[in-house]
Structure 1
Amino acid sequence: MEISTLATYHCLAFVWYFFVAYSIAHIKTEERPSEVFLYGGQWKYLTVLNLVLQAVFYGVSFLADVLRLIKKLRCAKCVISSRDLLFSVLAFPVSTFVSVSFWTLYTYNRELVYPKSLDGVIPLWLNHAMHTAVLPFALLEIFALPHRYPAKKKGLILLGFVAFLYISWVLWIYSVTGEWVYPLFALFSPSGLAAFFAGSLAVVVSFYNFGEFLNRMIWGQFEF
């Protein structure tokens, strides 16, 4: 794509994700089911955190495009490095995981991840914006321009560290409230939950590898 076209696309994507994140963050308090929005508010849900992540990523991408357009190449190079690291390690694997895992569990038993009580609170379009649209956006980004992936070890360490932080946040919320972020977790024994977290991490890693594979197949191989 031309830089101007990329800048337009990244700007629109940033505005979209900002709007979606704003919409979910400003659901009226009296409309929220008390059993859903407890300690941690929306910020305990990976879906909502992913919206913020995507908004940040597309904001950084737009900044990189603007810097290239105005010929600030030295600054652009630094921002592009940050953009590519953010996309490869987090933006692509997390958004793919959110979409695939949500709809898989929703199809099996929606009460495990998205209780029916939310239907009267979160509009259908917002549900799809959070859980469906994130996947085609991520794929389109790979096809739109090349991204430099970090060395495999570096990328997986960073991804694993972020996963550890989120799992720690989930466990902390449970220790404070006695309630799990997702009803699904209550079905597991401690060892079963550990296995579930390990399996989920393995799935996220597979999405990381898938993104790297697509990027390499389309644009060729290059690393930080």
Structure 2
Amino acid sequence: MSSSELANRSSLIYPRMLGYVATLVLHVITAVHITTTFTREAANDAAVKEFHDNQHKFMTVWNVYMQMLYAALGLSCDVLSLSNEGKISSLQQTLKKIRDPMFSNIVWPYAFTTSFVFWSAYSYDRSLILPPSVDQTLTWGANHVIHTAIMPVVLWELVFRPRKTPETHMANLMMMYGYAAGYLTVIVSSYMNTGTWVYPILNILYGTIYFYIFLGVSVLLTQIFYSMQWYVTSILWKNLKDIKKVN
């Protein structure tokens, strides 16, 4: 690889790595903060205890885990690329096969869907999505890290990692909706076991047509956000000639 090609690649790889590190640091610090603020007093609050017991059932938590996993994958790929002076090793190729669809089909669309649905419900009536007593452990700052900062970090990735729009979206959509089906299975199973939904808004809507409208709108939003990434990609990288030199 020529020195000019290395410089071109490095001009993108280092900002990408900065984004990955920032993502990991933000989420790790927030997770530690939430854990350490879950004091004995907060644990005595039934609503807070239920919130913590159900953490693994929240889409927000799933999204945070996926962002952290993706950041680790992306960082690993870029470190390997730098250490191999641009040559793609078999390990790096394997990691890329996981990284690329994970971003397109899960990390990007669900970051926007999670943020949009959460803040829409929260702005209308916060009790629909989170009980007020949860503020004891989920502070204003932590709330914005897991529900607001999740969008800038994926936008950063889109800006600094060149991509091409796929010729067909069938496999991507199957993965995206498969992920949604997996999450829906978890929360439906939880309802069948406990008799309540993990989100208060679902308890209110269940048994009415609005329950299905809410789920349908959430799915539609995910589809819209999925499609949006390719529109933005086509604008950012419309003149890209050789994606392999900088990716």
Structure 2 CA distance for aligned equivalents of residues 79 and 149 of structure 1: 20
Counterpart selection for 1:126 from 138, 142, 150: 142
Task: Specify the code of the residue in structure 1 equivalent to 2:176.
Answer: L
Structure 2 CA distance for aligned equivalents of residues 64 and 198 of structure 1: 36
Counterpart selection for 1:21 from 31, 45, 57: 31
The CA deviation at 1:213 is: 1.5
The CA deviation at 1:178 is: 1.2
The CA deviation at 1:83 is: 1.4
What CA deviation, in whole Å up to 9, does each residue of 1:147-199 have, x standing for no partner?
A: 35553111111111110111111111111111111110122226442332122
2:125 alignment partner, SS class: helix
**Is 1:111 matched with 2:127?**
yes
Structure 2 CA distance for aligned equivalents of residues 26 and 161 of structure 1: 34
**Unaligned 5+ residue runs, structure 2?**
1-10
Structure 2 CA distance for aligned equivalents of residues 147 and 20 of structure 1: 30
**Is 1:200 matched with 2:203?**
no
**Unaligned 5+ residue runs, structure 1?**
none
**Is 1:216 matched with 2:234?**
yes
Compared CA separation, residues 146 and 166, structure 1 to 2 (3 A): same
Structure with the bigger RCO (C-alpha within 8 Å, sep 6+) is 2
Structure 2 CA distance for aligned equivalents of residues 21 and 52 of structure 1: 11
Moved over 6 A (4+): none
Q: State the partner residue of 2:105.
A: 89
C-alpha RMSD of matched pairs (Å) = 2.2
Q: State the partner residue of 1:100.
A: 116
Query: Any conservation in 1 of the 2:67–2:107 contact (CA below 8 Å)?
Result: yes
1:28 alignment partner, SS class: coil
The CA deviation at 1:116 is: 1.3
Structure 1 CA distance for aligned equivalents of residues 125 and 72 of structure 2: 35
Query: Any conservation in 2 of the 1:173–1:180 contact (CA below 8 Å)?
Result: yes
The CA deviation at 1:25 is: 4.9
Task: Specify the code of the residue in structure 2 equivalent to 1:197.
Answer: L
* Bigger radius of gyration among the two: 2
The CA deviation at 1:89 is: 0.4
The CA deviation at 1:80 is: 2.2
1:73 alignment partner, SS class: coil
Aligned identity (percent) is 26
Show the 5 A alignment for 1:57-72: 57-71=70-84
